[in-house]
Amino acid sequence: MSAGTKLSSLMASAALAITMTLAFAADAEAQRRGGAGARAGGVRPDISRSSVAARGDFRGDAGRAGRSTRDRSFDRDFERDRSGVADRDRSRREEHEREDRRDERRDDRDERRDDRDERRDDRDDRRDDRRDDRDHWHRHGHVVVALPHGHTTIVVGGSSYYYYGGVYYVSGPNGYVVVGAPIGAHVGVLPHSHTVVYVRNDPYYYYYGSYYVWDPARDGYVVVAAPIGATVSYLPDGYETVYVNGARYYRYGGTYYRPYYRSGNLVYISVRV
């Protein structure tokens, strides 16, 4: 190729390159002006489908994320409310159970108290019955036709007495007469329902107006005179009411008693008049 031909080819290539550069520049300027005009006029520039799809996918993901968060929050609130209801129900059940247990314990206490009261009333009734029988059969001067089976004979000061269950009898014209316990009488066993009375720390065993003390030499109990200062809860039937210097006393078997109240109960103390 000649030098002229090469020069012509280079110039054509250069001209083509300049033309393309100017065309690209003009096109870029037109696009810039068109975009500015669209923004100024409030018209959204054209957006490609891929951009719209991408934006739609983003918004969809954001919406789904928001719904998922709301759902989780709703689930938490629901679980919390359900848990609170369950706790309240459990608390009410436990409170009802506690009340039921309290009622059962109260009923048990009332029932036990009623049982105790009933047993005490039964004991009081039996004691009153025994006392009535004792007062009837032990009353001094009471006469029986025959002596009780199992009685024993006690001789005191040359006189014979018949003893059974704390009661002493002597022979009379119409049978056997109940009398007071003779001083010095000895028995191996104390009468049933006796009470212990302490005078100056010494024990005495009281039964129906009579006093016994333990006699180790005779390995039994001996009837003694009433000690001064003995306090007893009852006096046998047949006592007398006497007045000395205007004061009232009760006399039984030669012993004087002064009545007074101790802890709200009427008792009797043996005194010297």
Count the domains in the chain.
2
CB-count burial class (<10 Å; 0-12, 13-18, 19+) for 113: exposed
Residue that is last in its domain, among 137, 160, 189: 137
Residue 45 contacts residue 35 (beta carbons within 8 Å) = yes
Task: Give a yes or no: residue 249 inside a domain.
Answer: yes
Q: Which token pair is 50? A: 């891929």
pLDDT of residue 76: 74
Radius of gyration of the chain, Cα coordinates, nearest whole angstrom:
62
CB-count burial class (<10 Å; 0-12, 13-18, 19+) for 227: middle
Q: Which token pair is 240? A: 């007398």
Planar angle of CA 125, 127, 131, nearest 5 degrees: 115
Residue-number span of the structural domain to which 90 is assigned: 75-137
Task: Give a yes or no: residue 166 inside a domain.
Answer: yes
Per-residue exposure over 184-215, b if at least 16 CB sit within 10 Å of its own CB, e if not:
ebbbeeebeebeebeeeeeebbbbbbbbbeee
Residue 135 contacts residue 166 (beta carbons within 8 Å) = no
147 and 264 housed in the same domain: yes
Q: What is the pLDDT tens value at each position of the chain, 273 positions in all?
A: 555 566 666 676 666 767 777 766 666 676 677 655 444 454 444 545 555 444 545 455 555 666 677 667 767 777 777 777 778 888 888 998 999 999 999 998 988 888 888 888 777 666 655 555 555 456 788 899 999 999 999 999 999 999 998 999 999 999 999 999 999 999 999 998 899 999 999 999 999 999 999 999 999 999 999 999 999 999 988 899 999 999 999 999 899 999 999 999 999 999 998
DSSP string, 153-215: EEEETTEEEEEETTEEEEEETTEEEEEPPPTT-EESSPPTT-EEEEETTEEEEEETTEEEEEE
149 and 131 housed in the same domain: no
| CA separation for the pair 246, 273 (Å, rounded) | 12
Residue 168 contacts residue 162 (beta carbons within 8 Å) = yes
Q: Which token pair is 213? A: 């003390």
Q: Which token pair is 193? A: 């329902």
**SS3 label, residue 272:** coil
pLDDT of residue 66: 60
Residue that is last in its domain, among 137, 160, 184: 137
Instruction: Supply the pTM of this predicted model.
Output: 0.52
pLDDT of residue 43: 46
Residue 180 contacts residue 253 (beta carbons within 8 Å) = yes
145 and 119 housed in the same domain: no
146 and 267 housed in the same domain: yes
